[in-house]
A and B are shown apart, each in its own frame.
Chain A
Amino acid sequence: MWDWFHRLGSPKYFYGFAGALVPWLAGLCVILFAVGLYLGLVIAPSDYQQGDSYRIIFVHVPSAWMSMFVYVLMAIFAAIGLIWRVKLTAILATASAPIGASFTFLALATGSIWGKPMWGTWWVWDARLTSELILFFLYLGFIALQTAIPDRQTAWRAASILLLVGVVNIPIIHYSVDWWYTLHQPATITKFDTPSIHLSMLIPLLIMAVAFKVFYITVLLSRARAEILDRERKTHWVQDLVRSEQI
């Protein structure tokens, strides 16, 4: 088990492993999205107050969850990278950043589209919305910092520290609606009480959440493979690979 884990840490082994996994995950992802969207947009009943407008939660909520999940994962990669100097952590975090930024953008955009008819405004500077916007800037900051420093190792170390500093924002986003009066409503599902959402709406939402997660892993693995090829382009195994592909 440990041995397998150690081998997985080597870019060469990971490249093959990820390559074998991607088609399966992509297939699973398409199925989950099809089922989740069908149940959410067609089968689920409309809401007692919002009518059909509430259906945007099937995209908004999973992407908001993912925006935080991806960030936490990147921060864990940063900690592992700083402490144990595992090569793969830099690759995985670098590959994750644009995906996480996209999820954050999607959460902000869909929230805004929903906010206009329901709240009566596109945007308010309440604690939840502001902290989510800061998360978006943290992603952009990470990407910018890493591309600004030419030496890859220095870049990754500096960016890791940014990731660890920014992780403080995650509990703020999650608890903002409980700590302060905000316009954004408190949590529906992630509370210890029973969820305040009807089962017929909860099931598609959870399927969509899993679909988003599988989507993330699929894209992460493909992006990580490209990143590995780029970083290891001087090694023998990559050059052998390229040569054999050309023939």
Chain B
Amino acid sequence: MRRRRRNRLLMVVFLVLGIGVAVAFTLNAFRQNILFFFTPSQVVGGEAPLGHPFRIGGLVAENSVQRSEGSLEIHFQVTDTVNSVKVVYEGILPDLFREGQGIVTKGTLDPTGVFVASEVLAKHDENYMPPEAEHALKAAQTLKDN
């Protein structure tokens, strides 16, 4: 009886470990496909696919947002602080869209290297704080920088 119980224990352990290893290999093999977006450096480096849609993730570069009069067209640069890519988009932006905000945008790269976006999503970070705490944080940062 003890022996049968031990065998069953081993069976359960091997089942879980076996599936775990199999899934780990599979996910590793599909690594590229699970990535939700490319970084601007990868795009500049030519890793992103040309001719069919993909996503770029990064920060909206400071002072790069240009809205046009009379239409929803907007020009901005998305950056990973090393490289940046020019993006043009026409449509409704999410609430969190602003300069310095992380975003993920979907579209295609045109021959001149401008990314024509069909969708812009804001990527929220993991920080939650009241506005006063953010002011305090910024004040402390400028104090440190000076």
Contact = CB atoms under 8 A, between A and B. Distances in A.
Asked whether A and B interact, the reply is: yes
Interface of A: 45-50, 53-54, 57, 79, 82-84, 117-121, 124, 126-127, 161, 164-165, 167-168, 172, 180-183, 185-188, 196-198, 200-201
Contacts of A117: 94-95
Given A84-B5, A200-B130, A168 B119 contact: no
A124 B5 contact: no
B125 interface: yes
A118 B95 contact: yes
Given A46-B130, A54-B128, A182 B36 contact: yes
Contact of A167 (B16, B95, B120, B123): B16
B35 to A, nearest CB: 5
B128 A181 contact: no
A182 B20 CA distance: 22
Contact of A46 (B8, B57, B131): B131
Nearest to A80: B12
Contacts of B12: 79, 82-83, 164
Contact of B36 (A120, A127, A161, A201): A127
A180 B34 contact: yes
A20 to B, nearest CB: 32
Contact of B130 (A47, A82, A167, A187): A47
Main secondary structure of the interface of B (DSSP, over half): mixed
A127 B16 CA distance: 21
B16 A124 contact: no
Given A54-B128, A121-B119, A49 B96 contact: yes
Contacts of A182: 36
B37 A197 contact: no
A197 B129 contact: yes
Nearest to B31: A180
Contacts of B127: 188, 196-197
A201 B121 contact: no
14 contacts: A46-B131, A47-B130, A53-B95, A83-B8, A83-B9, A119-B121, A120-B119, A168-B16, A168-B20, A180-B31, A183-B104, A188-B127, A197-B129, A201-B128
Nearest to A191: B126
A127 B34 contact: yes
Nearest to A161: B15
A180 B122 contact: no
Nearest to A171: B20
A172 B23 contact: yes
Contact of B134 (A48, A79, A127, A196): A48
A47 to B, nearest CB: 6
A120 B34 contact: no
B48 to A, nearest CB: 13
Given A50-B96, A165-B15, A167-B16, A57 B121 contact: no
B143 interface: no
A185 B127 CA distance: 9
The 3 closest A-B pairs by CB, nearest first: A120-B94, A45-B130, A48-B134
A57 B129 CA distance: 13
A186 B126 contact: yes
Contact of A45 (B11, B94, B121, B131): B131
Given A48-B133, A117-B94, A196-B127, A126 B5 contact: no
A168 B129 contact: no
B15 A180 contact: no
B125 to A, nearest CB: 6
